[in-house]
Amino acid sequence: SQTIHQWPATLVQPVGSPLSLECTVEGTSNPNLYWYRQAAGRGLQLLFYSVGIGQISSEVPQNLSASRPQDRQFILSSKKLLLSDSGFYLCAWSRSRTYEQYFGPGTRLTVT
């Protein structure tokens, strides 16, 4: 069976500090990978998606970036965090050519 991991689970970072969130998927190969952000009291916003190693598509221009160094690893980064980056970050995967996305447990980021 497939599992998806995210870490850390919670993070408190000062404004201007760097960020690295990691997501890994087990039990499948060549998944589509996604990063979403959920701000308090709001819906989910797709930030990035990837259909393969090194292939990243950005949905929202901002100070965040994503990378996919390995087939089942997806990293969300920032060089300098803003207050507005606070939120709940969810990683998801889906099999190529099918449509359900399966979500990880999320990382709750607070920028102070």
Q: Which residues here bind other proteins, judged by CB under 8 A?
A: 32, 34, 42-44, 46, 49-51, 57, 59, 88, 90, 92, 94, 96, 99-106, 108
Helix (H, G, I), strand (E, B) or coil at 65: strand
Nearer CB in complex with other proteins: 3/17: 3
CA dihedral 44, 75, 79, 47 (to 10 degrees): -20
Provide the minimum distance between the beta carbon of 105 and other proteins in the complex, in angstroms, as a whole number.
Answer: 5
The least CB distance from residue 91 to other proteins, in Å, is 11
Residue nearer to other proteins on the CB measure, 26 or 80: 26
Quote the DSSP letter at residue 107.
Answer: E
- Closest contact distance (angstroms) between CB of 108 and other proteins is 7
Comparison of 8 and 105: residue with beta carbon closer to other proteins: 105
What CA–CA distance (Å, rounded) separates 62 from 29? 29
Closest CA to 108 of 4, 10, 6: 10
